[in-house]
Structure formats: C-alpha cells, structure tokens
Amino acid sequence: MSKIKEKFAELSAKKEKALIAYIMVGYPNENATMAAVRGLIKGGADIIELGFPFSDPLADGPVIQNASMISLNNGTKINRFFNIVKKIRKETNIPLVLMTYTNILYHKGYSKFITEAKNAGIDGFILPDMSIEESKEYIASAKNMADTIFLVSPNTTKSRIEKIAKISSGFLYLVAVYGTTGVKTEIQNYSLKAIKDVKKIIGGKIPVGVGFGVSTPEDVKKYIKAGADAVIVGSAFLKLIEDTPQNKRESSIEAFTKSLKRQTVIK
C-alpha cells in the first residue's frame, strides 16, 4: 500500500479528513523551506506537496508564478531539490507529493526522473498539464513506484471523471474553481456541487482532495462539510512564508496549519 493510501486509511479510522499543504521548494530559500516543513508537521499537516519550479507555470496564479521565479533564480535544480527531499525524509515519514509540470519529467525521462524522486523519498506526483491522453509513458513509469494524482474540474464530464479516477492513485485532485491557483473568491455553489457530484461518481474508490483558492479555516470547513476527503492549501502558505521573517516562520506556519487542521476533524 502506498504511503498516501495508508495515510487516508489511518485518517479514516480516526474520523478525520486530510489537510494537504503545498509549498514551493527554494522559496524564498532552502532554510525557509525546511522551517515551513517543520511548522507544517508540528501543525498537523497530513500530506505535503513540494512544488518544483517550472519557468512557465500556466496553471498557476501570481503567487505561485512569483515563487517559481524566485526559486529558479535562487538556483533550485533537480538534484538540489532531491537533496532537500532526502533531508525532509530524515525528519519525517509524512507522505510527500511532488508537484511540477510535464516538461520537467519528460526532459529527464519519465522513468529516470520518477526513480530518482522515489529514491529521494517522493510518494506521488501532480502534473497539472498532463492530460490522460498523453499519460501512457508517465503512468507506466510510475507503476509500483509512486502515485499518479490526476486532476478533475467542475466542468469534467461524468464519463471522463470515471476514466481519470481509474488511472489515478493516491487521491483525485478536484480543482474547485475555474481559474488558476491562489485566486481568492467566495466559495461558489458550483464548487460544492462538484464535490458532491465527483464523490458520487467515483463511489469511494479513491479519496477526493479539493484545491485551488482554498486559503482559510472557513474554506476548509465548508469543503469538508460538502464531502471532500482532503483539502489542499497552497498560495496561502506561500504568502505566509513571504510575510514572515525566518526566525518566526516555523511557529507561524505551525499555528496556521493547526487552525486549518482543526476543521478537518469530524465532530
């Protein structure tokens, strides 16, 4: 059983939902990344998504675009990224998911990249520009190595959701809103409806995580109430990292994580 799957089983037994936190590695530097990871773990995050920067992040809003650029300018490279993953692995057993764009894996070779990532301690992948039609080699390379987490959207058809769910592992990532990451709007009714619909279509075969624009404890509460098995918070963490001096990063991330995690416990 994959580490991600185990985590969901463990949470389910405790009647809890998952809090998944996203941070961009190397933003604004490696020390900040380590401080953030420690804060996330102390605060009770269940899964951590580690962003590897790509020069052209077309599914991302301004916050992650900016973080990607700064991380790249700071010299974040694949090997350095894997070294950070190894460092994190020495401190924790938490499931780690790598989020980046298709070209990064394609360029190195899917199999080679996934093997190296797995050896460093990565448990799954999210590639927002990887469609199921183009995923054959990617899926084959990840088989028995790591989970492949695909995305669905509120406008994805029923038959397509079924297809995507079938080749996804770990969890299914439901993009809550029409838009890029980190764009804050009121929670939309169509988003809540999408959660219910997707859950119904896949009938518990795989957990559903909701992300994009999830940034406050209130958001978490509403999405969990609507039936999400996990919530994914990203840009809000990056903003907090940006706004906090290094010596306070770990504690402020911890406090914010706690405030989010509290909402995932079903009373």
Partner 1 sequence: MKYPKEGRFGEFGGKYIPETLVPAIEELEENYLKFKDNKEFKKELDYYLKQYAGRPTPLYYAKNLSEKCGGAKIYLKREDLLHGGAHKINNTLGQALLAKKMNKKRIIAETGAGQHGVATAMACAVLGIKSEVYMGYKDTIRQKLNVYRMNMLGSKVHPVKSGSKTLKDAINEAIRDWITNVETTYYLLGSAVGPHPYPVMVRDFQSVIGEEIKVQMKKISNKSPDTVIACVGGGSNAIGTFYPLVDTNTELIGVEAAGKGLKSKYHSATLSAGTKGVLHGMMTYLLQDEEGQITETHSISAGLDYPGVGPEHSYLKDTKRVKYHSATDAEVIDAFLMLTRTEGIIPALESAHAIAEAMKVAKRSKKSESIVVTLSGRGDKDVEEVQRYLNKHVKN
Applying CB under 8 A, which of residues 106, 251, 258, 265 lies at the interface with partner 1? 106
What are 162's two structure tokens? 């079924």
Binding of residue 178 to partner 1 (CB under 8 A): yes
Candidates 58-66, 84-92, 197-205, 213-221: pick the segment binding partner 1 (CB under 8 A): 58-66
Which residues partner with 24 through β-bridges? 51
The span from the CA of 229 to the CA of 191, in Å, is: 14
The span from the CA of 101 to the CA of 15, in Å, is: 33
Binding of residue 73 to partner 1 (CB under 8 A): no
Please name the helix (run of DSSP H) or strand (run of DSSP E) that holds residue 231, with its range, or none. Answer: strand 230-233
Residue 55 dihedral angles phi and psi, to the nearest 5°:
-60, -25
**Mind telling me the catalytic residues?**
49, 60
The nearer residue to partner 1, 109 or 196, going by C-beta atoms, is 109
Candidates 14-22, 125-133, 214-222, 242-250: pick the segment binding partner 1 (CB under 8 A): 125-133
Cis ω before 245 (30° cut-off from 0): no
Binding of residue 116 to partner 1 (CB under 8 A): no
Please name the helix (run of DSSP H) or strand (run of DSSP E) that holds residue 194, with its range, or none. Answer: helix 189-202
Name the DSSP class of 22: E
The span from the CA of 105 to the CA of 100, in Å, is: 8
Applying CB under 8 A, which of residues 12, 73, 103, 259 lies at the interface with partner 1? 103
Binding of residue 104 to partner 1 (CB under 8 A): yes
Binding of residue 16 to partner 1 (CB under 8 A): no
Applying CB under 8 A, which of residues 40, 164, 195, 230 lies at the interface with partner 1? 164
* Residues that bind partner 1 in the complex, under the rule CB under 8 A: 54-59, 61-62, 65, 69, 72, 77-78, 101-104, 106-108, 128-131, 133-134, 150-153, 155-157, 160, 164, 175, 178-180, 183
